[in-house]
Structures are given as structure tokens and as C-alpha cells.
Amino acid sequence: MRKILKTYKPFTHAGLLMAAQYRANFFFFILGDILMCFINYFLWHAVYNSGSAESFKGFTEVDMVVYIFISFLTTTIAYSDGTYAVGEEIRDGTIAMRMIKPIRFELAFLFQELGERIMTLFLVFVPLVSGVEIYKFVMTGSVRFNIVNFVLYFISLTLAYLINFYFNVCYGYSAFVLKNLWGSNFLKNCIVGFLSGTTIPLAFLPPVVSAVLNFLPFATLSYIPVMIYLGMYAPVQILYSFGLQIFWLAFFIALQQIIWNASIKRMSVQGG
């Protein structure tokens, strides 16, 4: 483990520097995306005004607003560029070079991305979490910050990032078939966005659909961490959720390895 850290630490440093270089760009980009949260905020506000009930499916208006922003935060932090990175390498052929390098391709990339993630964490995490907590305080008149939930959320968020990273690397291999990286990435993002509950909490979907989606890996990317933050899960359910996250993480690591081995074989047969 220590050896791994030593080998790959420079990548993290490089990622951090790169992210710092482009932070102004990144800032504008995030600002554009955060607008979506405000649209949803107003939309839900109107929904709660129009309905007769205080809460829908156990979500009060305050819960829903927290849900919107924390789920945005979660997807932003757990974001991974793995699909593009792998896709570009396949498209320009450099992936063949990876076979002769003494470092593991996905680990080098993971550590580089961790550097960027740290930068993102600084830029969005603190302002969003404090914003949400202040909003909760103003709306309810009492401090409702739960440190245990927060710590559990952070663990779950970390797992979500790792799952997303390996999932994206696996998906990146689709570039062997699809050349339109922009299109296929966009398609993936909008489907995953829906399945992971960022569009609407999974609880709002028909019970059968919701039950299935709750088990799929996508729920572990956003829905589960956010529900933990909201304190909507009982201890048993939290334990079960961590189990599910670990299961899917192991699944995608294994899948990544299998595809990688298969493509090495394929490349050595076809000669890259």
C-alpha cells in the first residue's frame, strides 16, 4: 500500500496543479450547472405550493431542497472523466503503449483524478454544505446538523466516487465500438443521472421500479449517500447500503480487470 502511494503520489500532485490552472474555467462551468439546482428548487417550491400535502413520500419541502443541492454536490464530487480518458486513448491508439509501461493505467489515472477531486472539494463542498445547513436553520429555526450522518455521508461519498470511477473506465472501453465520444458520454450521463436519482428521488417512482433501481449500482452513486445525509435511513439500512456499495465497487474493479485483459489479448492478436 505504501509503495502504491509512493509510486502514484506524483500523479495526484499533477492533477491538483492542473485543476488549479483551470479553476477559473471550472468555476464558470460549475456556476452554469448550479443553475439547474435553482430551477429544480423553484419547481419543487411550486409543487409544494400546489399540492395539499405537507410532504410527499416522506419528503418535506426542506428535505427536498436539501436533496436537490446535496445530490448535485454528490454527483459533482463523485464525477469521473474515466470514460473520456479511456475513450481518447483507444481512439488515438495510445492504449497499446500502456501495455509496456510498468505502472497500472487505471491507478495512474485514478490518482491523477484524485488531485482534481481535492480541488473540487475545496471549491464546492464547503460553500454548498454550509449553504444547505444555513437554509435548514432559517427554514426550521433550529440547528439540525448531524455530525454522525455527515461522517457516514462522507464515507459513502468516497465509495460512490470509486464506484463511478471504475464504472466510467469500463464504459470507456465502448470506444472500441462507438466513435462519437461526445454523444455516447452524453447519453450515458443522462441515463445514469436518472437511474441514480439526481433527476428525482427514487422514492417518487412507482414502487416496483424504485425497488429495482435501489439495488442497481447507479443508486449507490448518488441516491444512497444523499439519503444518508438526510438521515432518512435507519442504522440497519445504512449498513446494508455500505454493503451494497462495496459489492458494486468490487464488481466494477473485477469487470475492469477482465475487459483490460481481454483487450490486451485482442490487441496482441490484431497488433494494436
Rank residues 57 and 265 by Cβ distance to another protein and give the closer one: 57
Write the binding mask 11 to 50 for another protein: x where contact by CB under 8 A, - elsewhere: -----xx--xx-xxxx-xx-xxx-xx-xx--xx-xxx-xx
Return d(Cα 56, Cα 128) in angstroms, integer.
24
- Judged by CB under 8 A, the residue of 184, 196, 222, 241 near another protein is 184
Sign of CA dihedral 272, 15, 29, 41: positive
d(CA 215, CA 34): 28
Cα(95)–Cα(211) distance, rounded to whole angstroms? 39
Q: Minimal CA–CA distance to 85: which of 181, 155, 228?
A: 181
Please identify, among the stretches 1-9, 120-128, 193-201, 218-226, the one whose residues bind another protein according to the rule CB under 8 A.
Answer: 193-201
Q: Is 262 in the site for another protein (CB under 8 A)?
A: no
Q: How far is the CB of 171 from another protein (least distance, A)?
A: 13
The whole-angstrom separation of Cα 234 and Cα 211 is 17
Rounded distance, CA 259 to CA 221, Å?
22
CB of 57 to another protein, least distance (A): 8
Indicate whether 56 belongs to the interface with another protein (CB under 8 A). yes
Could you say whether residue 211 binds another protein (CB under 8 A)? no
Rounded Cα–Cα distance for residues 28 and 14 (Å): 22
Which residues make up the interface to another protein (CB under 8 A)? Answer: 16-17, 20-21, 23-26, 28-29, 31-33, 35-36, 38-39, 42-43, 45-47, 49-51, 53, 56, 177-180, 182-184, 186-187, 190-191, 193-194, 199-200, 204-205
